């Protein structure tokens, strides 16, 4: 049985609200949590595969050119080294999310410093690592590499789809009562997931089993097949547990292809894990950005024009570019609009999706500019945003689906006691600390993707959920268990969810915040189908059916599901497809951030003292895991504001700070008590479960609240992220 | 990781004789193992000295403390006498690393902690410290964490630690036993070297030398402060740190021992700065002159230029705090 729904129109039935089990929305603990905290959840590197060898990738130490020789013969046969793989199919970079085909192959061509060149395979990891360190690689370097995106002689191009020139922004700027015209810069980021990338490949004849850490198996299997020149049917991929992804595991990466090639060549399973420096050098980076923002408004603070023109970078020929203006297109009104993205072609590590590509840095800067406009116009920042919420999409003239932006602003202001906060910059001091408050709006586009999932109501009355969807720490196991339990009237303990296996029905995986709503809808549809069968067996309509605690029916007439099934399991596949509601409505999630910072008047060190986020993202499927997603986003916002920065050496494009000692993510002491408030919301245009994506919303503008608070504390605008102390020092009060 | 042999030393003579024969000591291993994995360091032989009887803290006849080389950073920072009369040392240690690292890191090992220069850590980069004569990439590169004092054209790396900065302000001495069995005492302030033409040598240790203890002199009265400035609130190396032991005599400064971290290839102490302060009444002008003196020869290399202004501000703030009325003895 397959239940199919295409979102061509709103689903206003709100069926989950009719259910009585009471699981969906609750802060249910993760069912796999005990396995994770007791070390029993098997992550990619932890599979016990017999006769396994280890491979370590050797890196390019030039920035552009060709490999002329890999001196492998001196290594093989000594110190446990078994092989050196230099196959033409090796990947030069990972695949972009959803690529569905192999990325650039052939590691003899070098596009960036640190690119994988060869794989050294040995009996132990240590031997392989030593071999990779010793491997002598000869090059023919090309002198025309470009490293600095802003250098005059760096080539750039303008993606056609991302240039908007509506009305006359220059004129609007001239006519405006108040304007902002500033250039901001944000640095590159790396996802730096706790679990480094890893793959274990083993062959049985022509059949490849690949255990790895990936986010989107449905695409990864095709990318891997294309890279290896084999058919996808000969591949079985397993990613039941993923220790963080943030976009860095969206596409197949060099470790998977090299492990598969090596395992074939040596005839034994091969495990390839990336070291932390390799994670920085060879997985996707978030592009640095230069953002020129222009805002024009009347005396009333209502925007008449918005300009958001951005420079980002990527490797030559790479299709992805950071979609910086994504939320700027729809969040605020203003008739005259100039939005554009220019891509500089540089020989740096490949640019790709890193948590909330686009909004993470675009909202960060837009919300700084709004703060500057609030100051220029003398209008409170919360009020200014509320005055600029458009009725219809300012470019496409389409309506919005549910949008709780104003409520998030109001609720945040109320909880933070925003109106009580000091508004005069640099005037609140406690000892050596300058105290400031700031706020920002949050927004992230919503995406629904095609997904399938199988639900089986087993003869004993328990349920099994199967999909290739992944749980990258987000809570997929929990929310799919909750949806199935809710729909089938089962306690969570009676539902088992199995994920991350390409033998299961396919879906879009985890990325772009779409996982929960997409695969969750597929599970919902499968369950609805099963409910229909049960109702039929009972001779009633599906919408009259009550399922609770393993029984069907109400009160004393309720019968155990196992009795109704009479020994026969029921299985259904749910199939969700996005449809016209994505085109006809602007779908997005919204929120607000409020932050209090203390800036040391002597040193310029900034510490965030409290932070609040209020978010609306449709139906919340699990209050705890949704809240945790928002915590994580806001913590990254603190890092984006204060410390995180990929530093490139513009002499050769190499990443200077390629480890967690010098790439400064926030540590516990940098993170204050964070409060997250989730607004009650149903978005009937988004999905049949009325849920939208929440995984990335927490970062989309969070950093701006912190830097706006720094301005309020010190009177210093830092427009060049991160706001490290050196950028404040010169303008702090006299020592 | 390059293959190496591993042996346990049974006693000091065993340890020093093996070290004289080109072996490398390992104690906590918190720095050495990282560097060995990256092959920034590639020892052929490791001698484990954890069995040696060097993990005690005891009082000296003079009334000071003898901190055994194998005393962990955690134990040293938590020692009741250290906390009572050498609080600057306890605070400096606790300002560094993490609880887990401090549990493993030892007193002797921490003195030998190597620089965090990015280019030193990347074996694809030229580095005079890692590979003498290959050049210095930091000089013209990204040098945010690098030295502003005492650097050379060969190397602008800093000593990254905190503990030794406090020990320098406390006039502590390093007890070293040579392979010949001779014991000598070297002031901590003289233990680390300036890079000069030989940045590969971090300190004055010779082949076969074993650090056996750090000797703290009898406690001095006065206010003790450790101020560490860094990019995040914890788990980051100092951009600038300052250990101060300042004693007042009425409204005048009786003595001042000031040491700085994150600024040079060694904990930095400048006697001229201290001489300028002694006998004077605290004032903004006086502290400004002290900063002028300290930074007279300071030089930035681009991304670390801010350290000059930062150090000036830290010096003035710490001295202000150390000399203000009501300063506890």
Nearest to A602 among B3, B123, B313 (CB): B313
Q: Do B141 and A656 touch (CB under 8 A)?
A: yes
Distance from CA of A355 to the nearest CA of B (A): 22
Find the chain A residues whose C-beta atoms sit closer than 8 A to any C-beta of B.
59, 61, 79, 113, 126, 129-130, 133, 277, 432, 602-605, 607, 642-643, 647, 649, 651, 654, 656-659, 661-662, 664, 666-670, 724-726, 729-730, 732, 735
Handedness of CA A240, A245, A247, A252 (dihedral sign): negative
User: Does B120 map to a domain?
Assistant: no
Residue numbers in A near B236 (CB within 8 A): 664
CA distance A531 to A552: 10
Secondary structure E strands in A315-432 = 336-345, 429-430
Nearest to A657 among B118, B229, B317 (CB): B118
Residue numbers in A near B142 (CB within 8 A): 647, 649, 656-657
CA distance A547 to A709: 50
User: Does B75 map to a domain?
Assistant: no
Residue numbers in B near A61 (CB within 8 A): 124
ipTM of this complex prediction, to 2 decimal places: 0.97
Q: Are A38 and A561 in contact (CB under 8 A)?
A: no
CA distance A430 to A423: 16
User: Does B157 map to a domain?
Assistant: no
- Which residue does chain A place closest to B232, by CA atoms? A670
- Which residue does chain A place closest to B142, by CA atoms? A649
Q: Are A702 and A637 in contact (CB under 8 A)?
A: yes
Q: Which of A610, A185, A560 is nearest to A368 (CA)?
A: A185
Phi, then psi, of A395 in degrees rounded to 5:
-115, -40
The CATH topology of domain A49-144+197-283 is Aldehyde Oxidoreductase; domain 4 (3.30.365)
Distance from CA of A113 to the nearest CA of B (A): 10
Residue numbers in B near A670 (CB within 8 A): 232-234
CA distance B231 to A724: 7
The per-residue b/e assignment along A623-633, b for 16 or more CB within 10 angstroms, e otherwise, is eebbbbbbbbb
DSSP track, A204-224: ETTEEEEEE--S-HHHHHHHH
Q: Which of A13, A4, A3 is nearest to A690 (CA)?
A: A13
Beta strand pairing status for A270-273 and A235-238? unpaired
Query: What pLDDT score was predicted for residue B315?
Result: 98
Which two structure tokens, joined as six digits, stand for A664? 């400064």
Q: Do A79 and B239 touch (CB under 8 A)?
A: no
CB of B6 within 8 Å of a chain A CB? The answer is no
Q: Which residues pair with A593 in a beta bridge?
A: A440, A613
Mean of all residue pLDDT scores within chain A: 97
Whether the pLDDT of residue B327 is over 70: the answer is no
Distance of CA A251 to the CA centre of its chain: 13
Which two structure tokens, joined as six digits, stand for B96? 């560094």
- Which residue does chain A place closest to B321, by CA atoms? A432
Whether the pLDDT of residue A234 is over 50: the answer is yes
Query: What pLDDT score was predicted for residue A146?
Result: 98
Residue numbers in B near A661 (CB within 8 A): 116, 237
Distance from CA of A603 to the nearest CA of B (A): 6
Q: Which of A606, A726, A735 is nearest to B313 (CA)?
A: A735
pLDDT, one tens digit per residue, over B74-88 is 999 999 999 999 999
Which of A265, A536, A696, A734 is catalytic? The answer is A696
Whether the pLDDT of residue B93 is over 70: the answer is yes
Residue numbers in A near B116 (CB within 8 A): 661-662
CA distance A511 to A680: 24
Beta strand pairing status for A303-314 and A336-345? parallel
User: Does B60 map to a domain?
Assistant: no
pLDDT, one tens digit per residue, over A212-233 is 999 999 999 999 999 999 999 9
CA distance A243 to B118: 27
Find the Cα–Cα–Cα–Cα dihedral B38, B42, B43, B49, rounded to 10°: -10
Q: Do A669 and B232 touch (CB under 8 A)?
A: yes
Q: Which residues pair with B255 in a beta bridge?
A: B247
CB of B316 within 8 Å of a chain A CB? The answer is yes
Q: Do A133 and B123 touch (CB under 8 A)?
A: yes
CA distance B193 to B190: 7
pLDDT (average), residues A259-273: 98
- Confidence class of residue B326 from pLDDT cuts 50, 70 and 90? low
User: Does B199 map to a domain?
Assistant: no
For residue A331, give the 3-state DSSP assignment. Answer: coil
Residue B42 sits in which domain range?
Answer: 5-46
Q: Which of A250, A444, A296 is nearest to A362 (CA)?
A: A444
Q: Do B233 and A667 touch (CB under 8 A)?
A: yes
CB of B11 within 8 Å of a chain A CB? The answer is no
CA distance A428 to A548: 56
Q: Are A441 and A592 in contact (CB under 8 A)?
A: yes
Q: Do A670 and B39 touch (CB under 8 A)?
A: no
The per-residue b/e assignment along A21-60, b for 16 or more CB within 10 angstroms, e otherwise, is bebbbbebebbbeeebeeeebebbbebebeebbbbbbbbb
CB of B101 within 8 Å of a chain A CB? The answer is no
Q: Do A607 and B233 touch (CB under 8 A)?
A: yes
Q: Do A724 and B309 touch (CB under 8 A)?
A: no
Q: Are A621 and A596 in contact (CB under 8 A)?
A: no
CB of B51 within 8 Å of a chain A CB? The answer is no
What does DSSP assign to residue A625? H
**Percent of chain A beyond pLDDT 90?**
99
DSSP track, A560-607: EHHHHHTT--EEEEEEEEE-HHHHHSB-EEEEEEEEEEEEETTT--EE
- Confidence class of residue B1 from pLDDT cuts 50, 70 and 90? confident
CA distance A456 to A569: 7
**Percent of chain B beyond pLDDT 90?**
97
Q: Is A696 a catalytic residue?
A: yes
CA distance A9 to A7: 5
Q: Are B32 and B72 in contact (CB under 8 A)?
A: no
The per-residue b/e assignment along A441-464, b for 16 or more CB within 10 angstroms, e otherwise, is bbbbbbbbbebbbbbbbbeebbbb
Distance from CA of A427 to the nearest CA of B (A): 20
Query: A interface mutation test: which of B121, B148, B233, B292 has the most A CBs within 10 A?
Result: B233
Helices A702-714 and A359-377, interaxial angle, to 10°? 30
- Which residue does chain B place closest to A724, by CA atoms? B231
Which two structure tokens, joined as six digits, stand for A634? 């806001």
Q: Which of B30, B218, B50 is nearest to B111 (CA)?
A: B30
Distance from CA of A731 to the nearest CA of B (A): 11
Q: Which of B163, B183, B174, B182 is nearest to B204 (CA)?
A: B174
Query: B interface mutation test: which of A636, A662, A670, A722 has the most B CBs within 10 A?
Result: A662
Q: Are A549 and A21 in contact (CB under 8 A)?
A: yes
Residue numbers in A near B144 (CB within 8 A): 647, 726
- Which residue does chain A place closest to B125, by CA atoms? A61
Residue with tokens 């549910």: A402
- Structural domains counted in chain B: 2
- Which residue does chain A place closest to B285, by CA atoms? A735
Whether the pLDDT of residue B328 is over 50: the answer is no
Beta strand pairing status for A207-212 and A137-141? unpaired
Q: Do A729 and B310 touch (CB under 8 A)?
A: yes
Q: Do B118 and A662 touch (CB under 8 A)?
A: yes
- Which residue does chain B place closest to A602, by CA atoms? B313
Which two structure tokens, joined as six digits, stand for A723? 């706001």
Residue contacts between A and B (CB atoms, under 8 Å)? 93
pLDDT, one tens digit per residue, over A708-722 is 999 999 999 999 999
pLDDT (average), residues B313-326: 93
Nearest to A735 among B38, B141, B316 (CB): B316
For residue A687, give the 3-state DSSP assignment. Answer: coil
CA distance A200 to A48: 10
What is chain A's alpha carbon radius of gyration, rounded to the nearest angstrom? 26
- Which residue does chain A place closest to B38, by CA atoms? A133
Query: A interface mutation test: which of B232, B239, B285, B307 has the most A CBs within 10 A?
Result: B232
Whether the pLDDT of residue B329 is over 90: the answer is no
User: Does B104 map to a domain?
Assistant: no
CB of B123 within 8 Å of a chain A CB? The answer is yes
Nearest to A729 among B124, B306, B316 (CB): B306
Spelled out in words, what is the top-level CATH class assigned to the domain A2-41+450-578?
Answer: alpha beta
Residue with tokens 């950093």: A703
Convert chain B into a string of H (helix), E (strand) and C (coil): CCCCEEEECCCHHHHHHHHHCCCEEECCCCCHHHHHHCCCCCCCEEEECCCCCCCCEEECCCCCEEEECCCEHHHHHHCHHHHHHCHHHHHHHHCCCCHHHHHHCEHHHHHCCCCCCHHHHCCCCCECCCCCCCCECCCCCCCCCCCCCCCECCECCCCCCCHHHHHHHCCCEEEEECCCCCEEEEEHHHHECCCCCCCCCCECCCCCCEEEEEEECCCCCCEEEEEEECCCCCCCCCCEEEEEEEEEECCEEEEEEEEEECCCCCCEECHHHHHHHCCCCCCHHHHHHHHHHHCCCCCCCCCCCHHHHHHHHHHHHHHHHHHCCCCCC
Architecture of domain A380-447+584-729: 2-Layer Sandwich (3.30)
pLDDT, one tens digit per residue, over B284-302 is 999 999 999 999 999 999 9
Distance from CA of A491 to the nearest CA of B (A): 41
What does DSSP assign to residue A287? P
Nearest to B1 among A129, A277, A605 (CB): A129
Q: Do B229 and A605 touch (CB under 8 A)?
A: yes
Q: Which residues pair with A438 in a beta bridge?
A: A595
pLDDT, one tens digit per residue, over A432-464 is 999 999 999 999 999 999 999 999 999 999 999
CB of B37 within 8 Å of a chain A CB? The answer is yes
The answer to whether A2-41+450-578 and A380-447+584-729 have equal CATH topology is yes
pLDDT (average), residues B229-247: 97
What does DSSP assign to residue A686? T
Which CATH number goes with the domain that contains B245?
A: 3.30.390.50
Whether the pLDDT of residue A7 is over 80: the answer is yes
pLDDT (average), residues B16-44: 96
């Amino acid at each position: 049985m397959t239940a199919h729904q295409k979102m061509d129109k709103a689903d206003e039935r709100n069926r989950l609200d009719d259910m009585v089990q009471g699981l969906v929305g609750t802060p249910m603990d993760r069912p796999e949590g005990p396995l994770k905290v007791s070390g029993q959840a098997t992550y990619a590197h932890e599979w016990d595969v017999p006769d396994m060898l280890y491979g370590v990738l050797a890196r390019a130490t030039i920035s552009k050119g060709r490999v002329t020789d890999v001196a492998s013969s001196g290594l093989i046969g000594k110190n446990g080294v078994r092989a050196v793989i230099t196959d033409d199919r090796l990947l030069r970079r990972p695949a972009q999310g959803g690529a569905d085909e192999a990325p650039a192959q052939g590691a003899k061509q070098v596009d960036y410093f640190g690119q994988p060149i060869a794989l050294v395979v040995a009996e132990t990891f240590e031997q392989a690592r030593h071999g990779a360190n010793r491997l002598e690689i000869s090059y023919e370097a090309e002198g025309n590499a470009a490293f600095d995106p802003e250098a005059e002689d760096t080539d750039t191009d303008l993606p056609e789809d991302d240039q908007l020139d509506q009305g006359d922004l220059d004129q609007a700027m001239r006519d405006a009562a108040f304007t902002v015209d500033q250039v901001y810069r944000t640095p590159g980021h790396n996802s730096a997931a706790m679990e480094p990338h890893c793959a274990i490949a083993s062959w049985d004849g022509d059949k490849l089993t690949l255990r790895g850490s990936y986010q989107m198996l449905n695409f990864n299997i095709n990318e891997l097949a294309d890279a290896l020149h084999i058919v996808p049917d000969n591949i079985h991929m397993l990613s039941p547990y993923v220790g963080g992804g943030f976009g860095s595991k969206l596409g197949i990466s060099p470790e998977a292809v090299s492990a598969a090639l090596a395992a074939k060549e040596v005839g034994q399973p091969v495990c390839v894990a990336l070291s932390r420096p390799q994670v920085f050098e060879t997985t996707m980076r978030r592009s640095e950005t230069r953002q020129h923002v222009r805002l024009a408004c009347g005396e009333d603070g209502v925007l008449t024009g918005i300009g958001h023109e951005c420079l980002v970078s990527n490797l030559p020929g790479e299709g992805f570019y950071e979609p910086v203006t994504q939320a700027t297109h729809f969040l605020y009104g203003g008739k005259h609009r100039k939005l554009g993205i220019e891509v500089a072609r540089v020989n740096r590590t490949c640019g790709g999706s890193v948590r909330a590509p686009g909004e993470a840095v675009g909202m960060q800067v837009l919300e700084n500019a709004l703060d500057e406009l609030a100051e220029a116009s003398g209008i409170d920042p919360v009020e200014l945003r509320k005055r600029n919420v458009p009725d219809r999409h300012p470019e496409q003239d389409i309506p919005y689906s549910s949008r709780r932006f104003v409520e998030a602003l109001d609720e945040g202001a109320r909880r933070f006691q925003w109106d009580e906060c000091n508004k005069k910059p640099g005037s609140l001091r406690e000892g050596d600390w300058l105290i400031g408050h700031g706020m920002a709006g949050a927004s992230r586009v919503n995406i629904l993707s095609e997904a399938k999932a199988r639900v089986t109501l087993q003869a004993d009355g328990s349920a099994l959920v199967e999909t290739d969807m992944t749980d990258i720490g987000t809570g997929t196991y929990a929310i799919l268990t909750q949806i199935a339990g809710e729909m089938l009237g089962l306690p969570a303990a009676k539902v088992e969810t199995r994920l991350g296996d390409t033998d299961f029905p396919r879906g879009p995986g985890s990325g772009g915040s779409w996982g929960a709503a997409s695969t969750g809808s597929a599970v919902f549809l499968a369950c609805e189908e099963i409910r229909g069968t049960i109702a039929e067996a009972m001779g009633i309509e599906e919408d009259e059916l009550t399922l609770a605690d393993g029984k069907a029916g109400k009160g004393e007439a309720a019968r155990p599901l196992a009795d109704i099934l009479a020994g026969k399991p029921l299985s259904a596949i749910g199939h969700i497809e996005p449809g016209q509601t994505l085109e006809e409505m602007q779908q997005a999630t919204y929120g607000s951030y409020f932050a209090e910072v203390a800036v040391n008047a002597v040193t310029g060190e900034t510490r965030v003292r409290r932070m609040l986020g209020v978010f609306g993202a449709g139906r919340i499927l699990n209050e705890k895991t949704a809240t945790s997603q928002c915590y994580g986003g806001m913590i990254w916002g603190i890092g984006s504001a204060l410390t995180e920065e990929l530093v490139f050496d513009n002499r050769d494009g190499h990443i200077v700070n390629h480890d967690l000692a010098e790439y400064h993510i926030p540590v516990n002491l940098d993170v204050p008590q964070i409060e997250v408030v989730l607004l009650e919301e149903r978005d009937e245009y988004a999905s049949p479960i009325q849920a939208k994506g929440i995984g990335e919303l927490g970062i989309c503008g969070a950093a701006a609240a912190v830097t706006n608070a720094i301005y309020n504390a010190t009177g210093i605008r830092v427009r060049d992220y991160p706001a490290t102390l050196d950028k404040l020092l010169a303008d702090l009060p006299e020592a | 990781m390059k293959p190496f042999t591993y042996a346990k030393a049974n006693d000091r003579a065993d340890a020093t004789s093996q070290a004289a024969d080109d072996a490398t000591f390992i104690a906590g291993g918190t720095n050495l193992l990282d560097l060995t994995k990256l092959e920034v360091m590639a020892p052929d032989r490791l001698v484990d000295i954890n069995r040696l009887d060097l993990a005690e803290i005891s009082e000296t006849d003079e009334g000071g403390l003898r901190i055994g080389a194998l005393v962990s950073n955690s134990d040293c920072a938590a020692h009741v006498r250290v906390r009572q009369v050498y609080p600057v040392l306890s605070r400096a240690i606790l300002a560094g690393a993490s609880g887990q690292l401090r549990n493993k890191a030892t007193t002797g090992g921490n003195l030998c902690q190597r620089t965090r220069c990015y280019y030193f850590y990347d074996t694809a980069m030229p580095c005079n410290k890692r590979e003498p004569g290959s050049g210095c990439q930091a000089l013209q590169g990204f040098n945010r964490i690098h030295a502003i004092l005492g650097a050379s054209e060969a190397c602008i790396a800093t000593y990254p630690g905190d503990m030794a900065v406090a020990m320098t302000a406390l006039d502590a001495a390093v007890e070293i036993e040579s392979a010949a069995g001779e014991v000598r005492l070297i002031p901590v302030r003289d233990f680390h070297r300036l890079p000069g033409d030989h940045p590969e040598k971090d300190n004055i240790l010779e082949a076969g030398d074993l650090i056996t203890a750090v000797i703290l002199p009898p406690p001095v009265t006065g206010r003790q402060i450790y101020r560490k400035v860094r990019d995040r609130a914890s788990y980051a190396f100092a951009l600038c740190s300052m250990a101060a032991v300042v004693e007042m005599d009425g409204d005048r400064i009786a003595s001042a021992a000031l040491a700085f971290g994150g600024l040079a290839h060694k904990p930095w102490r400048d006697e001229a700065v201290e001489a300028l302060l002694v006998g004077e009444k605290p004032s903004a002008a006086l502290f400004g002159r002290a900063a002028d003196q300290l930074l007279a020869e300071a030089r930035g290399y681009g991304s670390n230029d801010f350290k000059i202004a930062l150090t000036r501000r830290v010096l003035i703030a710490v001295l202000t705090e150390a000399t203000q009325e009501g300063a506890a003895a």
